[in-house]
Amino acid sequence: MDIRNIAIIAHVDHGKTTLVDNILKSTKVFRENQDAGELIMDSNDLEKERGITIFSKNAAVTYKDVKINVIDTPGHADFGGEVERVLKMADGVILLVDAFEGPMPQTRFVLQKALQLNLKPIVVINKVDKPNCRPDEVHDAVFELFFNLDATEAQLDFPTFYGSGKNGWFNDSLTPTENIDVLMDGILKFVPPPTVSEGALQMQITSLDYSSFLGRIAVGKVARGSIKEGQQIALMQADGSVKKQKVRELYVFEGMGKRKVTEVLAGDLCAVVGLEGFNIGDTISDAEILEALPVISVDEPTMNMTFSINNSPFFGRDGKFVTSRHLRDRLMKETEKNLALRVKDTDNGDTFLVYGRGILHLGVLIETMRREGYELTVGQPQVIVKTIDGKKMEPYENLVVDVPQEFASKVIDLVTRRKGEMHVMETKGEMQHLEFEIPSRGLIGLRTQMLTATTGEAVMAHRFNEYKPWKGVIPGRNNGVLLAKQTGTTTGYSIDKLQDRGTFFVDPGEEVYAGQIIAEHIKPGDLIVNAIEGKKLTNMRASGSDAATNIAPKTLLTLEECMEYIQQDECIEVTPNNIRMRKVILDEEERKRVSRSMKTEEA
């Protein structure tokens, strides 16, 4: 059977998953009367809520008797580890670019990976129905990007298609059509069939699937030979060990699901059931002829956080999994499929150091665990500092901000205060396009401040660039916090009296404990307040003093916003029903004692 393997890569929100929807609908994967909805491939609850792709997924469609394996990839730099490994399964890539925004930092990152693997690119300029779009300029910018990334002559000669995923058309010109057939024909014409070398079986595991019925399933592309049901194979691992195992069942992708088969030939993607103890990057080879494929290399993590058990006074109220053993087992299980994640034990048996690509990467892990019934405490995210040639080095990132012109000066001021340097400033229509180089530390907490300063108009994107010398101290949060003095239930009477002291994160009637952060102070420095005091009632009627209290609703912070908000002596308590910020040391006297001893040590 004729096969094409294609990955769809793009910056976040440029329309990858919508394009996959169009491919699935145009090839009649669904019945005429079946309502499949939108963003079909984003099946995970978190993906649906956030409107982003987190995990890469496969679908297979048949068009003009050719099987096309389509791989949808995430667009966020934090999930770059997903993109790096799934590109190994593709023979061509569709680079999707927004007709207004043009190539963005993540576009550059994933395109570079694809070109290094010598994949054939097809450029699709999406959203040409938007006002202010500039498809011709964007086409030139894409060509320039290819050139800067040292693309070969063949790669520079890329075909370009224009269209609107939302309106369901793509064409090789700007003239709207009825459907996406022109693009589908382009895939058949420009994407080469898989290159297959002669010889015994070779297949690299590039992805994992899990079924409660079948257990762990290995997914990858058969690079050479063929794999059969019941075949004896050798599992060759990264550490050089070889395990002899047997293939129990084989599946190929069909539509949104899988179909059981007895044999898969080289060039096709398949799922293998029955293997044990495998990891991503391992090679499945012939039992007799042992030849491993090169191990998949994934960029290093740039950030770490401490994960520990929940040790607050409200421990064990919400969660099912609360011990350090539960926490350790869950984190180790995550490292099997999440390649960019690392977990290290610390001197304290209840605490683990978790390394990831960024706040969103770690935030999605914490949110997933919380929904599974885990209780845990996480500390402030820290960037990973290295010593190279005796010098202290830290990670730097490229930051791109598109913002209306009247806010450009505020953005520049915010970034330069955090040790960022501006490299590019261009006008794109009514928007100002700014590019900076900034230490990764400076990005923590920047998004919230920037959205406040630009009334939510700024669009920012960033990706890791390289390690450079340490830039010195970056100012953190300016304001202190209000801490609860004792454990109890907050009252409207107390909060009303304290409203002029800060912005509250709790409503009246919520349970709080001593040392919990309940509000942001209007000044620097922390303040301990009593938020659980009720009104002293007498049997005398008071004239006019019982006017209704006007309490502003609490400020709701998402998990990622809490991670960016807290300082080094603070942490977040995460349970299935609550996210609370607190001091690491809850007792006030103990905090003072520790702070005094630290000052003495410094002196």
Closest CA to 380 of 558, 567, 573: 567
Pairing mode of beta strands 120-126, 92-98? parallel
CA distance 435 to 461: 10
Three-class SS of residue 77? Answer: helix
- Token pair in block for residue 209: 């699937």
Closest CA to 519 of 491, 490, 481, 557: 481
Is the Cα torsion angle 532, 538, 542, 548 positive or negative in sign? positive
Pairing mode of beta strands 342-345, 226-228? unpaired
Judge contact between 138 and 125, C-beta under 8 A: yes
Annotated binding site for GTP: 13-18, 126-129
Degrees (nearest 5) of the Cα angle 391, 394, 395?
A: 140
Annotated binding site: 13-18, 126-129
- Token pair in block for residue 275: 């293997």
Judge contact between 571 and 582, C-beta under 8 A: yes
- Token pair in block for residue 145: 């990007």
Closest CA to 161 of 141, 133, 181: 181
Judge contact between 255 and 29, C-beta under 8 A: yes
CA distance 136 to 132: 12
Token pair 């290295």 is at which residue?
386
